[in-house]
Structure 1
Amino acid sequence: MQELFGGEIKIINIIIIIKVPLLGNNENNVNKLKGNNGGDGLVCARHLKLFGYNVTICYPKRTDKEIYKRLLNQCVEMDIEVIKNYEGISAEDIRKNYALVVDALFGFGFRGPLRAPFDSIIKELTDSKVKLCSIDVPSGWNIDSEEGSVGNESLIQPTMLISLTAPKLCSKNFKNCHYLAGRFLPPKLEKDFNLNLPCTPPGKLFMKI
């Protein structure tokens, strides 16, 4: 946070935009069932609140999955504001009310073109010009391409990217602030897949790459 805002900061307002998988197995719902960072966004909200930040969660499409209900309940019990619709997410409102956006919409499982309402949401986020931090994968990026968002300025251009476990291919040429977090990978698995991950300093949960 200090790197994003330059030196020591006090209290800022943060909005976290999340999506979680809905129930069902209909093939027409592939975009709804795959590729989300909603759980990470809810955990992020709780931790930011504990660190003293003013946090708002934008979470319109709810799920009956128990794990997400519990994560959301933890946030509600901590008096974190939850917005129940995307209609209030305009570039002007974001500029006026928030210093930072956390992008927790689509994860590494997302495939295919952006559909409503997420295409318009991402447009509002990019038009706001507010500092933005993406969790694991910037929403809408082609995870299988080294190009990332090259040639498509309508996609999210994060100020900071926090890759989880391992950087994804789409972030290969990412030039802004980039961190690797989440020491979840067993050494044997890292060796089997020849990942060559950077060595995280002892006692640290993240590192700048």
Structure 2
Amino acid sequence: MSAARAAAGAQAPEEERRFLSAVEAAALERELLEDYRFARPQLAELCGQASAVAVTKVWPLPALSRKQRTVLVVCGPEHNGAVGLACARHLRVFEYEPSVFYPTRSPEPLHRDLTTQCEKMDIPFLSYLPAEVRLINDAYGLAVDAVLGPCVQPAAMGAPCARALATLKLLSIPVVSLDIPSGWDPETGAAEDGLRPDVLVSLAAPKRCARGFSGRHHFVAGRFVPDDVRRKFALRLPRYAGTECVAPLSPQ
């Protein structure tokens, strides 16, 4: 495929995109786990790496100052948090400087293993977020929101994650949300208590709530989804150029 053709296929008009309902998204995940025998750690790794790559697309390393390379990754205890931990590790591999705030740690082996990997790579874990938001804005170039996922309601997240979400809403630095911005309804989109991220990385395929996303950049990270599954769920998404693991869904 020529470079011009690849670039032309990198975008899909709004009406051609396929936004999944919560039921369809859960069914697609079951298909990957049960029929194709993907493992949850494998999916977390694929999505985490792709999320880190999306960050590099918007903030390429050579153009960044030392402060702009610093990334605050805020993780919750569910699967989205595992993706955030994998994302932090890949950002370190890509020579960014991530720090993780993980206020409610999951006892699941997947989360424990990813936490250990980050710690072994000398990624700092913060014991608390500063009460003064200005200190976070001054210390970091951007933040990654991996607090909630598609099946987690804000009311069920617990006080530590609720406080982290409240802090994220006040930041003036750019925020990247993974799959669904924390606090959003997966079907209807933005809620009053939800984030307004600058960048959204849809995992596997965009969810219905992404119709309401009005930030600067929207990527889909689902190259790992087999062709048969794409056809079954009628996923009408842009082509992935070359060997890219993410594709843009919004003007760059």
Query: Partner of 2:71 in structure 1?
Result: 14
Secondary structure of the structure 2 residue equivalent to 1:101: strand
Q: How many residues align?
A: 190
Q: 2:187·2:209 contact (CA, 8 Å) conserved in 1?
A: yes
CA distance in 2, matches of 1:206, 1:158: 18
CA deviation map 1:13-32 (0-9, x unaligned)? 111000124xxxxxxxxxxx
Instruction: Compute the RMSD of aligned alpha carbons.
Output: 2.3
Amino acid at match of 2:109: E
Alignment of 1:87-166 (within 5 A): 87-88=129-130, 90-111=132-153, 113=155, 116-145=159-188, 148-149=189-190, 152=192, 154-166=193-205
| SS, match of residue 109 in structure 1 | coil
**Cα distance, 1:113 vs structure 2:** 3.6
Q: Which residue of 1 aligns with 2:223?
A: 183
1:121 shift after superposition: 2.2
Distance verdict in 2 for CA 1:38–1:6, change over 3 Å: closer
Cα gap change, 1:112/1:61 in structure 2, threshold over 3 Å: closer, same or farther? closer
Greater percentage in strand: 1
Residues 84-107 of structure 1: CA deviation (Å, up to 9, x unaligned): 34x536422211211100001111
Q: Secondary structure of 2:206's partner?
A: coil
* Deviations 1:42-64 (CA, angstroms, capped at 9, x unpaired): 11111111111111100122232
Unaligned runs of 5+ in 2: 1-55
Structure 2 CA distance for aligned equivalents of residues 117 and 75 of structure 1: 21
TM-superposed deviation, 1:168: 0.8
Name which structure has the greater RCO, CA cutoff 8 Å, separation 6+: 2
Paired amino acid for 1:109: C
5+ residue gaps, structure 1? 22-35
Distance 1:58 1:90, change over 3 A: farther
Q: Percent identity?
A: 29
Partner residue, 2:241: 201
Q: What SS does structure 1 have at the residue aligned with 2:145? A: strand
Structure 1 range deviating more: 46-55 or 117-126: 117-126
In structure 2, C-alpha distance between the alignment counterparts of 1:70 and 1:51, rounded to whole Å? 20
Equivalent in the alignment of 2:40: none
TM-score by length of 2: 0.68
TM-score (norm 1): 0.81
